Amino acid sequence: MKKITATEYDLHLGDATEGLASWLAERQYSGVFAIVDAEVNNHWKPLLSRWKHQFHTQQFIAPFGEKRKSLKTCQSIWKWLMEQGADRNALVLNIGGGVVGDMGGFCAATFKRGIPFVQIPTTLLAQVDASLGGKLGVNFNQIKNNIGLFKNPKTVLIDPQFFKTLPKRELHSGFAEVTKHALIADKELWNKLLKINDLQKIDWLALLPKIIEVKNKIVKKDPFEKADRKALNFGHTVGHGLESAFMNSKNNLLHGEAVAIGMICESYLSHKYLDLPKGELEEIVNFINRFFDKRKISATRIKKACELVKHDKKNDGGKVNYSLISRIGAYSINHHLTKVDLEESLNYYNLM
């Protein structure tokens, strides 16, 4: 079990069963209440029932997903915590992807004005991004993560064995955030990534610490996103707009899929405004296209995305705020761009 120190807590990398057992053995809680993604529960029943027996864990099992990352689901979770008799000394355990972590964490952080929680992220996306840095929340009024807060978990247990049952599409979605971490702050990591062709064949236990370190470093420098942390939003201004624009459609975009498109668009804007070299722009586009199928963004969707980015959390004074890169591995924050820029960048994506 490898330990990585984050701002106020430790991450544990390795076997989650062992990690959870030893972590809980050193602590006393009045109860351990697990919120489990239904897919994870289906695939990992024997593992979870071993945990359940060991820790007397009550479980809230639900099919999660962006659509259910809502105040309505929060109300079910809060009611369940009340029915189970969870008090202020109880622990919430979030087992699943980013939705479970963000929403379960938000529920814990606001239940009886806040009870402790632990993240056990089971997707690549959650392990390298969502579970780190204390961002919690739910979607509201069509805007992603519109309601939430910053609060760190007691610990995060990272175990790549869960990837074995992760659908290919989900694994690739998570890889978008891996790509982003390299692009904004780690050229060396980027060069490593360039050699990857098959995500199923990666030695995750060796690679994950390097990826996690990029995020940890930035979050430590600026926990509440006043400045540098905005760098992590590279690809996300356009990405969130697209994700929201596709949210209630049949052919929805996963978060990472939207961010992958967003990174192409924002690399284009980085080239346009920050002189990101043409060679690097092409390298990025080619790399992303290696892992993500092309999606056609219709004029209607472009219009909708333009409307939705107006509510982006980074905005100030009515201006849409982008985090770009001046080189691969070098971020540059606080660029105010126009609706025309956004349209142009989406047209660039459509044509690439």
Name the residue nearer to its own copies (CB basis): 52 or 151: 151
Among positions 1, 25, 71, 194, the unique one binding its own copies when judged by CB under 8 A: 71
Output the CA–CA distances (angstroms, integers) from residue 52 to 31, 159, 345, 352, in the order listed. 12, 18, 49, 49
Told to judge if 229 belongs to the known catalytic residues of this protein, a careful annotator would answer: yes
Joined together, the tokens standing for residue 262 give 């967003």
Give the DSSP letter string of 39-83: HHHHHTHHHHHHHHHHHT-EEEEE---GGG-SHHHHHHHHHHHHH
Among positions 32, 93, 132, 143, the unique one binding its own copies when judged by CB under 8 A: 143
Q: Does 89 bind its own copies (CB under 8 A)?
A: yes
The window from 81-89, 124-132, 173-181, 326-334 that contacts its own copies (CB under 8 A) reads 81-89
Contacts of 321 (CB under 8 A, 6+ apart): 230, 237, 312, 314, 315, 334, 335, 336
Told to judge if 144 belongs to the known catalytic residues of this protein, a careful annotator would answer: no
In the set 144, 230, 236, 335, the catalytic residue is: 236
Q: Does 9 bind its own copies (CB under 8 A)?
A: no
Q: Does 56 bind its own copies (CB under 8 A)?
A: no
Residues 147-176 that bind its own copies (CB under 8 A): 147-150
Please check whether residue 39 is in contact with residue 63, taking contact to mean a CB–CB distance below 8 angstroms: yes
How many Å apart are CA 317 and CA 321, to the nearest integer?
Answer: 10
How many Å apart are CA 233 and CA 314, to the nearest integer?
Answer: 9
Residues 300-329 that bind its own copies (CB under 8 A): 310-311, 313-318
The residues binding its own copies (CB under 8 A) are: 30, 71, 75, 78-79, 82, 85, 87-89, 109-114, 135-137, 140-141, 143, 145-150, 224-225, 310-311, 313-318
By annotation, the residues acting in catalysis are 113, 135, 177, 217, 225, 229, 233, 236, 240, 255
